[in-house]
Amino acid sequence: MPHRMLFESEAYDYPLGQKLLSFAKEHKIPHRTIPAHNRVTGLPGASAQQKYSQAKKTIVVGLKKDLRFQSCRPSADYQFPLMTSCPGHCEYCYLQTTLGQRPYLRVYVNIEEILEQASKYVEKNSPSITTFEVASSGDPLSIEHLTGSLGQTISFFGQLPLGRLRFVTKFTYVDPLLSLDHQGHCRFRFSLNSNRVVEHFEHHTASIEERIEASVKVAKAGYPLGFIIAPIMLYPGWFEEYGQMIEKLKKGLEEVKTFSVPISFELIQHRFTTKAKKVILERFPDSQLDLEESQRKLKFGKYGVSKYVYKKEEAQLIEEKLSELILKAFPTATIEYFT
């Protein structure tokens, strides 16, 4: 439940804006109108840690005005801007820096305009299939109980022969999505990690057991199923703990008799930037994250942005060992990429 809801004035002109306003009034959630999403002031908190915590309890309701969809490789062709941020407090999250001083949740109420834009991209790329990633800048399932936007989007893509949707989540509010006519056009993915990583760094998210339980429901509903193991971290006993997680997943999925398509896996090693390290330690001063630059390799990405990743030999070890564990447990699975 959010602690406060802030509305751009234009949001009131849309059904979802009115729905969220009614929700705020019904549940006596403090709410007010703001001039723009980037002019949020007055949030409580003296320290960076307190301000971050309060921002994560704040929902800003507004419009997505820039409808140019950005590239989202290697996950999909394009990002799909349904919302931004999430209520989770994952210490390592790349949104720590990409959202800067505005980690509050943003909900876009002009969903019909966003869907119409997506259909234009699909039509432009015809006859090829076009894929969209809904979770590139947030976790849409985390607020689905408030918005219903993800369900609306899944139903819309179910009617697009050449459109495909993908998203990943650490949350479990899946029941309203199970009966949708998705036509197999939406790959439902869950983020998984070792017990140590989840317990130490993924605060205010569902447990691994809860995520696996939700994945079983999703698979039984005929959704293409996938898992992102990220960020993969090296520490004493890492291989055994990741093996335990995969074995737990295998056991949980045994009750699914058939899968609509092979299960997919995406593997992402832990990485951080100099800026991210600074922000993380301000917000989580007692963090146990390994942020020692001298133990890493500096890698340059698009636009000259540099990040610290594991050294070549360590990265190869991660890829080889985890791929071996996954394919032993799920021989027909597809490992889409390691990065």
- In order of their start, the domains of the chain are 1-166 (3.40.50.12110), 170-270+310-339 (3.80.30.30)
- CA 306 from centre of chain: 22
In this prediction, residue 315 carries a pLDDT of 98
Contact 151, 144 (CB under 8 A): yes
How crowded is residue 26: how many other Cβ atoms within 10 Å of its Cβ? 8
d(CA 47, CA 176) in angstroms, rounded, equals 38
Print pLDDT tens along the chain (339 aa). Answer: 899 999 999 999 999 999 999 999 999 999 999 988 777 777 888 788 898 899 999 999 999 999 999 998 888 999 998 999 999 999 999 887 777 777 899 999 999 999 999 999 999 999 999 999 999 999 999 999 999 999 999 999 999 999 999 999 999 999 999 999 999 999 999 999 999 999 999 999 999 999 999 999 999 999 999 999 999 999 999 999 999 999 999 999 999 989 999 999 999 999 999 999 999 999 999 999 999 999 999 998 776 789 999 999 999 999 999 999 999 999 999 999 999
Q: pTM value?
A: 0.93
Q: What angle do CA 262, 263, 269 make, to 5 degrees?
A: 140
Q: 60 and 35 in contact (C-beta within 8 Å)?
A: no
Terminal-residue alpha carbon distance, the chain: 35
Residue 15, preceding peptide bond in cis (omega within 30° of 0): no
For residues 237 and 89, give the distance between their C-alpha atoms in angstroms, rounded to a whole number: 25
108 strand-pairing partners: 62
Q: Which residues contact 277 (CB under 8 A, 6 or more apart)?
A: 291, 293
Q: What is the pLDDT of residue 97?
A: 76
Beta carbons of 162 and 146 less than 8 angstroms apart: no
Q: What is the CA radius of gyration of the chain?
A: 20
What pLDDT does 34 receive?
Answer: 92
8 A C-beta contact, residue 242 and residue 197? no
Query: Residue 268: how many CA atoms within 13 Å on its side-chain side?
Result: 17
β-bridge mates for residue 298, sequence order: 308
Q: Which DSSP string corresponds to 27-48?
A: TT--EEEES-TT-------SSH
Q: What CA–CA distance (Å, rounded) separates 51 from 70?
A: 29
Q: What is the spatial distance between Cα 205 and Cα 220, in angstroms, rounded to a whole number?
A: 23
Which residues lie below 8 Å from residue 226, measured CB to CB, with a gap of 6+?
A: 166, 168, 187, 188, 189, 190, 263, 264, 265, 266, 336
The Cα–Cα gap between 200 and 214 comes to 22
Q: Dihedral sign for Cα 94, 100, 106, 110, please.
A: negative
**Residues 339, 86: Cα–Cα separation, whole Å:** 23
